Amino acid sequence: MNEIKTTVTDQLQRLQMLMHRSTFYGRVSESRTHNPHMGQGRILALLKIKPEISQRDLTYLLGLSKQSIAQVLEKLEKSGYITRETSEDDKRVSIIKLTEEGAKAAESIDEEVPETNKVLEGLSDEELETFSGLLDKLIKAYEEQFPGEDFDKRRKIMEEFVAHHRRDFEKHGDGPERRRDRGEHFGKRFNHHSFRQND
């Protein structure tokens, strides 16, 4: 049993290395600079849903550390994709806003096909079902190492967040006015007081 555990651990490490390498080479291509599974791409994808959001809520929804979020936001700001302003209601809160250039970059994300999707095409539906079940068990085992985190709540909030955007988008379409209206709508529904976080 110990031998197979060692083998599986080695395989996971090799898989992690290869996925990181794939992500690195993806960054080299200009068309993949904002891959939705990379830091900047994930933030742009979320800002496309909610063009105005507090840095606190963004950190919570993406499950990243404050330091990681700050570093990525700095890069996005330098690229002209976002602006950061202090909230008029609470001077301790920083508000992130998507710019027109950022909206254009976010649009390109939808056209990209993650490399992982291409790799998974080599597995049958049955194999994917089995693999998904095993991954779920591993994920839960890792989540149990962080008893202070409510991962289920975080996932439910994100699912509701995305579902609301999709309904709004299908009903009203997109554009600068709609993005601003959508930002105000979500600002009321998902304000920073609705998220409990560890400061």
* pLDDT tens by residue, the chain, 199 residues: 689 999 999 999 999 888 777 765 554 444 444 454 467 888 888 888 888 999 998 888 888 888 889 999 999 999 999 999 999 989 899 999 999 999 988 887 655 555 677 788 899 999 999 999 999 999 999 989 988 888 888 778 877 776 765 566 555 555 445 444 544 444 444 444 444 444 4
CA 74 – CA 58 distance, rounded (Å): 14
In the chain, how many domains are there?
2
CA atoms within 13 A on the CB side of 50: 26
The answer on 155 and 93 residing in a single domain is: yes
For strands 52-54 and 94-98, give the pairing. Answer: antiparallel
Q: Is residue 80 part of a domain?
A: yes
The answer on 147 and 109 residing in a single domain is: yes
The answer on 151 and 124 residing in a single domain is: yes
In the chain, the N- to C-terminal Cα span, in Å, equals 41
Write the CB contacts of 99 (distance below 8 Å, at least 6 apart in sequence): 80, 81, 82, 83
The answer on 81 and 23 residing in a single domain is: no
The number of helices, as runs of H, and strands, as runs of E, in the chain is 9, 3
The answer on 190 and 96 residing in a single domain is: yes
List Cα–Cα distances, 17 to 11, 33, 53, 134, in angstroms. Answer: 10, 20, 33, 20
The answer on 151 and 56 residing in a single domain is: yes
The answer on 78 and 28 residing in a single domain is: no
Structural contact between residues 75 and 68, judged by C-beta atoms closer than 8 angstroms: no
Q: For residue 82, give the H/E element and its range.
A: strand 82-86
Write the CB contacts of 94 (distance below 8 Å, at least 6 apart in sequence): 54, 55, 56, 84, 85, 86, 87
The answer on 62 and 118 residing in a single domain is: yes
CA quadruple 149, 152, 153, 158: dihedral, nearest 10? 110
The answer on 21 and 113 residing in a single domain is: no
The domain in which residue 2 lies consists of 1-32
The answer on 60 and 18 residing in a single domain is: no
